[in-house]
Chain A
Amino acid sequence: MADTDVVSEVTGSVWKILVAVGDSVEADTPVVLIESMKMEIPVLAPDAGVVTKILVAVGDPVSEGQAVVALGT
């Protein structure tokens, strides 16, 4: 099955990456923290899965709707 993109709901910059390739995550697990509006806003996994790719680095600017992590099954 194709990977699922985990997308940021907000525009901001990557503050922390909380997972590594190969990690298993449950639905609603925070995978990345985005710094936006002076807050650390989590990007949550929409479904359970295994992290296949990290698509951003700490400090990268991220726009709304941008994929930050890919999840496989």
Chain B
Amino acid sequence: MTIKAKLNELETRKAKALAMGGPEKLSRRRAEGNLNARERIDKLLDAGTYVESGLFATSHLPEAREKTPADGKIAGFGKIEGRPVALVSNDMTVMGASSSVVNGKKIRHMREVATRSGMPLVFLGESTGARMPDRMGAQGRAILGQDPAEYQRMRQSPWVSALLGSCYGSSTWYACMSDFVVMRKGAQMAVASSRVTSMAINQPVDAEELGGWKLHSETTGLVDVVVDSDEKAIETIKRYLSYLPSHNNEAAPVHDVPAGADEAGKRILDIVPADGSKVYDVRKVVEAIADPGSVFELKARFGKSLSTSLIRLNGRTVGVLANNPMFKGGAIDVDACNKATSFLVFCDSFNIPIVFLVDQPGFLIGLEGERRAAPSKIINWMNALSLVTVPKISVIMRKSYGQAYLNMGGGRNSDEVICWPTADLGFMAPEVSVNVLFGVKKEEDPARYEELLQQVTRDTSAWNLAALYETQDVIDPSDTRSCLISMLDVHRKRMGSEVGRHLLSNWPTSY
């Protein structure tokens, strides 16, 4: 064979692989309004930067080779906003992007290279699960589990997953191992499909109920952001990565600060009522403090009494945990605990400083919380907080009661505690403690109640905390942004090039 013939064969094979599952399946997807696996890659990466790995890979079974271009999971490298990434894009038109011996090797290679070379790894998820009949019987067992580190996550570089269709098996597992998950409405994530589940439990199962966006954004909290289209999901991945370093051995990128960034922060007093009985949406405070347009909220519909977001302050990435009195009065429930721990672990793993904005009446106590192991969630959070090695600043805006005072960075649980003059510190509201300590209710014995109330009321002010040097400053709320910028600069880990010790890097990626 001449070299020309060889080159012709190369082109023919390439064209066949790039044709994926064939025109009919591709046009069906287009009609449904979904991008195909290669269009998704094109939208994700900077033009002309894509390099594929394994274009000519196919099923290891000779009889399946012809119908398995790229073996259903397309893998490669490229750049997003100029920074290198590795990716896997699942091709549903090729055997439902099912997991096989060969495409498992492709994913493993992407994982290893992303870790070794310090680049984010992106999974564009849509998959049916294990490939059948390859996985049937004892022989099928023997092709599984050949990589003992397959499900190990040490967070050397960020992992991102998009759920863009039916996600069972591999796409689900990688989403749960990722640092960030974006889901397109209409996609599902579950252990097994509604058809398989329905057969297993012998009753009808609705796919949306089994693994739709509402379940994962509101109940499980496994999804960080929900979007309406593939395109929006891809934009969201790019935006998320813009806050992160490429790997855990460098600081996050610094962005330009938009003009007028200090303006909104001066209006904080219009947002937060001085009267502690009045609620407000803390996300407006986060917006006012952050560089304009830089707030990226995570898990907005889950554990809503605590808002978590990535923001930029003076161009630098910061992770903010803010109690939100708008929901449950800011009382911290089990979902909020899991959300907090997950966020602390994530921020610490990627050298992102942490800010607490505190206004909370305590943990939400009750039967539901106890049934869901609330004490363990509270202590997991504290353990994580004690292992964080990135800078931590706590701003007590209004009330900080109970044990949760510590979880929100009180005492030496942050590098610096700042109070607003409206700060209100104590173990519980004195009115409640009269009942707890003495069993006296106001309506039953008003005179005795008033007497006991005077007896238990203590000075709960910021001034008292400041006198004891438990808060290092009391500031005008409208100076919060400038104060945080100064304090985060003071506490930058200069000795270690702003890289923390990552003591939490092997903590779970899902809670």
Binding site for B on A (CB under 8 A): 9-11, 36-42, 44, 64
Contact = CB atoms under 8 A, between A and B. Distances in A.
Most buried by A among B326, B328, B432: B328
Contacts of A9: 327-328
B483 interface: no
Top 7 nearest A-B pairs by Cβ distance?
A39-B329, A37-B361, A41-B329, A37-B329, A38-B429, A9-B328, A10-B328
B52 interface: no
Given A9-B328, A10-B331, A37-B331, A42 B279 contact: yes
A42 B304 CA distance: 13
A44 B368 CA distance: 21
B431 A41 contact: no
28 contacts: A9-B327, A9-B328, A10-B328, A10-B331, A10-B364, A11-B366, A36-B329, A37-B329, A37-B331, A37-B361, A37-B362, A38-B277, A38-B361, A38-B429, A38-B431, A38-B432, A39-B277, A39-B325, A39-B329, A39-B361, A40-B278, A40-B279, A41-B279, A41-B328, A42-B279, A44-B326, A64-B366, A64-B368
A37 B329 CA distance: 8
Given A37-B362, A39-B279, A39-B325, 5 more contacts: A9-B328, A38-B276, A38-B429, A41-B325, A44-B326
Question: Majority SS of interface residues in chain B?
Answer: loop
Contacts of B276: 38-39
A64 B366 CA distance: 10
B283 to A, nearest CB: 12
B329 A10 contact: yes
Interface of B: 276-279, 325-331, 361-362, 364, 366, 368, 429, 431-432
A36 B432 CA distance: 11
Contacts of B326: 42, 44
Nearest to A65: B368
A38 B279 CA distance: 11
A41 B276 CA distance: 11
A64 B367 CA distance: 11
Nearest to A44: B326
A36 B278 CA distance: 11
A39 B330 CA distance: 10
Contacts of B431: 38
Contacts of B328: 9-10, 41
A64 B325 CA distance: 16
Nearest to B429: A38
A36 B329 CA distance: 8
A20 B160 CA distance: 46
Nearest to B330: A39
B435 to A, nearest CB: 12
A72 to B, nearest CB: 21
Nearest to B304: A9
Contacts of A39: 276-279, 325, 329-330, 361
Contacts of B325: 39, 41
A41 B364 CA distance: 14
B157 to A, nearest CB: 38
Contacts of A37: 329, 331, 361-362, 429
Contacts of B366: 11, 64
A18 B433 CA distance: 31
A39 B273 CA distance: 12
A44 B362 CA distance: 22
Contacts of A42: 279, 326
Residue of B329, B366, B368 contacting most chain A CB atoms (<10 Å): B329
Nearest to A9: B328
A42 B196 CA distance: 42
Nearest to B331: A37
B406 to A, nearest CB: 19
Contacts of A44: 326
A64 to B, nearest CB: 7
Contacts of B331: 10, 37
A36 B277 CA distance: 9
A46 to B, nearest CB: 11
A3 B366 CA distance: 29
A43 to B, nearest CB: 10
A42 B277 CA distance: 11
Nearest to A11: B366
Contacts of A38: 276-277, 361, 429, 431-432
Contacts of B278: 39-40
Contacts of A36: 329
Contacts of A10: 328-329, 331, 364
Nearest to A36: B329
Most buried by A among B331, B368, B431: B331
B401 to A, nearest CB: 9
A37 B332 CA distance: 12
